[in-house]
């Protein structure tokens, strides 16, 4: 029987961003399968995120960035009906943390936005990054750019903010669906991955520090 979480995801009228997929037969598709298999085999998440022997770090990281984007897209999608201009006029993670949006186009200076507006821009921005062949090349033999891990750090620090907002402001919705275990596992996987490869600054992790200490350490 499917979980309430998945029912909620697929019964919604909202249009979710299409999942970014890996082409069958490519090395990244095989890596993606290996990563999924290690999770389903019940491996400790700390072990599951470790770079497999003989594999390239950038390939392993690329596969996981796309996977985390797909998962967070679904997680936020399930709570988005309750995340409105009225309920969340500020993109925050509790009273101490406010996030302001900045990009290279419309918002050249950090700008205060509502959470739904901020998160829409964030997910659109990440989607553009992972579909950019100059950053995430899909052709075999095309090298990753020299600044690949730098680009990934920015992506992952922004994706972390989705967890922050969902946990602090919308966890009651997750609990009502009985999806705590699913979301907690996604978070632990994400946390172990970014700490294994140094992809998020410690200060960025502060808003969920106490929860993380209970859940992950």
List residues forming the annotated binding site for Zn(2+): 83, 88, 165, 170
Helices (H) and strands (E) in the chain, counts: 8, 2
DSSP code, position 145? P
SS3 category, 92? strand
SS3 category, 135? coil
Among candidate residues 143, 177, 194, 148, the one with its CA nearest the CA of residue 74: 177
Decide if 196 contacts 190 (C-beta within 8 A): no
Among candidate residues 98, 158, 157, the one with its CA nearest the CA of residue 125: 158
Q: Which residue has the tokens 């995120």?
A: 49
């Amino acid at each position: 029987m499917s979980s309430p979480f998945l029912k909620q995801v697929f019964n919604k009228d909202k249009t979710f961003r299409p999942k970014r997929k890996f082409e069958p037969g490519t090395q990244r598709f095989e890596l993606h399968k290996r990563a999924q298999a290690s999770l389903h085999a019940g491996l400790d998440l700390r072990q599951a995120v470790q770079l497999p022997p003989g594999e390239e770090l950038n390939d392993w990281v690329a596969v996981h960035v796309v996977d985390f984007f797909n998962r967070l897209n679904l997680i936020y999608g399930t709570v988005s009906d309750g995340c409105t201009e009225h309920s969340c006029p500020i993109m925050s993670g509790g009273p101490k943390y406010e996030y302001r949006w900045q990009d290279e186009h419309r918002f050249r200076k950090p700008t205060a936005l509502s959470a739904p507006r901020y998160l829409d821009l964030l997910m659109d921005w990440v989607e553009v990054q992972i579909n950019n062949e100059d950053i995430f090349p899909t052709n075999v033999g095309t090298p990753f750019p020299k600044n690949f891990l730098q680009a990934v750090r920015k992506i992952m620090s922004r994706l972390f903010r989705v967890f922050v907002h969902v946990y602090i402001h919308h966890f009651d919705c997750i609990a009502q669906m009985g999806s705590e275990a699913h979301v907690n596992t996604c978070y632990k996987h994400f946390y172990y991955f970014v700490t294994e490869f140094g992809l998020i600054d410690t200060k960025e992790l502060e808003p969920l520090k106490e929860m993380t200490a209970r859940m992950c350490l």
